[in-house]
A and B are shown apart, each in its own frame.
Chain A
Amino acid sequence: MSEKLLPAGFEALEPFVAYWAQPTNDKRWDQRARAPMAEITAFYDAMYDRAEDAIAWLDENYPLGQEMPEDARNLSCLLLGLGQAAIAVEMHRQPRSPYSVFPHGIYMKSGPWPLG
Chain B
Amino acid sequence: MSDVLENPKIEVPHAIDLTRKAGLGTGPVPVEPYVSPEFYERERKLVFGRAWLNLGRIEQLPKANSYFVKPVEACNAQVLVTRNADGEIKAFHNVCSHRGAAVALEECGVRNRFTCRYHGWTYRNDGELIGVTDPDMFFDLDKKQLGLTPIACDVWEGWIFVNFQKRPEVSLIEFLGDLGEVFRGIPYMNTHQALIIEANFNANWKLIADAFAEGYHVSSLHPNTLAPSFSSDKNKFARPVGGRAWGAHRSVSTFGNMDYVTPENSKVERLANMNNGAIVLAGDTGEQAQKLLAHRAINQAKSAHWSADLTWLFPNFNIDFSPGGFWTHEFWPTAYNKTRWIARIYMPTATSWRDRLAQEHYAARWGEVVLEDVSNCERIQIGLESGAKDHIILQDGEFMIRHSLETINKWVNAKTVKEALS
* Partner-B contacts on A (CB < 8 A): 25, 28-29, 32, 48, 51-52, 54-55, 58-59, 63-64, 76, 79-80, 82-87, 90-92, 96-97, 99-101, 104-116
Contact = CB atoms under 8 A, between A and B. Distances in A.
Nearest to A91: B224
Interface in B181-224: 193-201, 224
Given A97-B225, A106-B197, A107-B198, A64 B351 contact: yes
A106 B198 contact: yes
B29 interface: no
27 contacts: A25-B195, A25-B363, A48-B267, A51-B357, A59-B353, A64-B352, A80-B357, A83-B358, A87-B365, A87-B368, A90-B263, A91-B224, A97-B225, A97-B368, A97-B372, A97-B375, A100-B368, A100-B372, A104-B375, A106-B198, A106-B374, A108-B363, A110-B194, A111-B363, A112-B350, A112-B356, A113-B193
Interface of B: 193-201, 224-225, 263, 265-269, 271-272, 282, 342, 347, 349-354, 356-361, 363-365, 367-368, 370-372, 374-375, 378
Query: In the complex, which of the residues B199, B267, B347, B360 has the most CB atoms of chain A within 10 Å of its own CB atom?
Result: B360
A55 B368 contact: no
Q: Which of A59, A85, A100, A115 has its CB near the most chain B CB atoms (within 10 A)?
A: A100
A77 B200 CA distance: 27
B353 A58 contact: yes
Contact of B353 (A76, A87, A100): A76
A52 B352 CA distance: 12
Given A86-B267, A97-B225, A101-B378, A112 B193 contact: yes
Given A100-B375, A111-B363, A113-B193, A55 B225 contact: no
A75 to B, nearest CB: 10
Given A83-B360, A83-B361, A86-B268, A113 B350 contact: yes
Contact of B356 (A64, A87, A106): A64
A83 to B, nearest CB: 3
A49 B266 CA distance: 14
Given A101-B374, A105-B200, A107-B197, A80 B225 contact: no
A87 B197 contact: no
Contacts of B361: 83, 86-87
Nearest to A29: B367
Given A96-B371, A104-B374, A25 B360 contact: yes
A39 B65 CA distance: 48
Contacts of B365: 87, 91
Going nearest first, the 9 A-B pairs with the smallest beta carbon separation are A83-B360, A86-B268, A83-B361, A105-B200, A112-B359, A109-B196, A110-B196, A106-B199, A80-B360
A52 B272 CA distance: 10
Contacts of A51: 268, 271, 357
Contacts of A82: 268, 357
Nearest to B359: A112
B201 A104 contact: yes
Contacts of A112: 193, 195, 282, 347, 350, 356, 359-360, 363
Nearest to B358: A83
A34 to B, nearest CB: 13
A52 B370 CA distance: 30
A106 B371 contact: yes
A115 B353 CA distance: 11
A107 B367 CA distance: 8
A97 B371 CA distance: 8
A100 B267 CA distance: 24
Given A64-B352, A86-B266, A106 B360 contact: no
A115 B359 CA distance: 11
A46 to B, nearest CB: 13
Nearest to A86: B268
